[in-house]
Amino acid sequence: QQQVKQSPQSLIVQKGGIPIINCAYENTAFDYFPWYQQFPGKGPALLIAIRPDVSEKKEGRFTISFNKSAKQFSLHIMDSQPGDSATYFCAASRTYSGAGSYQLTFGKGTKLSVIP
Amino acid sequence: NAGVTQTPKFQVLKTGQSMTLQCAQDMNHEYMSWYRQDPGMGLRLIHYSVGAGITDQGEVPNGYNVSRSTTEDFPLRLLSAAPSQTSVYFCAISTGTGRGYTFGSGTRLTVV
């Protein structure tokens, strides 16, 4: 099964709060887990990514936590700002030789609103 | 270096009309793909290509056609537009396994 399940569908937090978006996957062969950020009217852009050999990765105010045994990973946004308001997608793929190895499986997205 | 260029940005079609959405890249990436984005449905893969002359179907290929004659271009053709094809279409490229995608800015298509 190639699904990636993302929750919640939408999220509203106040400025300075820490929104958390969760994703769960089923295919244990997945070994690359990126997050994408999409602003209205724009294409998704790569935000941060993690591989399963580490449990956490930080880039600025964005942190991915990864739980291999639970097959879950999550995005935390520290000190969230109104400018972080966007739709966030998690994704997963696996590394192997072959045409399908390029493909990412996306979650359905989380619309985040950070209110001042 | 424009990355991924999609044209047009907006289009309105009548049911039954055909059109081609253009995707061009200047990054020399092997992998090119087309996604459609609908509210609550996330990003769904339509067709993809791993190099010139090689294409394959994704999750929702019906009603769409693609070809890849060059590394740079990957056009998406709607053969006979239907209202169900009203969506935002994104082209995405990648260098390969375990690498992030670079998305274009999208084409918003309305079929009436």
DSSP chain B: ---EEEE-SEEEE-TT--EEEEEEESS--SEEEEEEEETTTEEEEEEEEEETTEEEE-SS-TTEEE--SSSSB--EEESS--GGG-EEEEEEEESSTT---EE---EEEEE-
Q: Which of A6-20, A21-35, A100-114 is the least confident region?
A: A100-114
Surface of B (21-50) touching A: CB under 8 A: 30-31, 33, 40-43, 45, 48, 50
pLDDT single digits (tens) A70-101: 999 999 999 999 999 999 999 998 776 565 56
pLDDT reading at A42 higher than 60: yes
What is the pLDDT at residue A18? 97
Strands A10-14 and A110-115: parallel
Q: Do A99 and B103 touch (CB under 8 A)?
A: no
pLDDT reading at A1 higher than 60: no
What is the pLDDT at residue A101? 60
pLDDT single digits (tens) B19-40: 999 999 999 998 999 999 998 8
Mean pLDDT of the A60-73 span: 96
In B, minimum Cα distance to A108 occurs at: B42
Confidence of residue B79 (pLDDT cuts 50, 70, 90): very high
Q: Do B42 and A31 touch (CB under 8 A)?
A: no
pLDDT single digits (tens) A6-20: 999 999 999 999 999
pLDDT reading at B96 higher than 80: no
Q: Do B105 and A96 touch (CB under 8 A)?
A: no
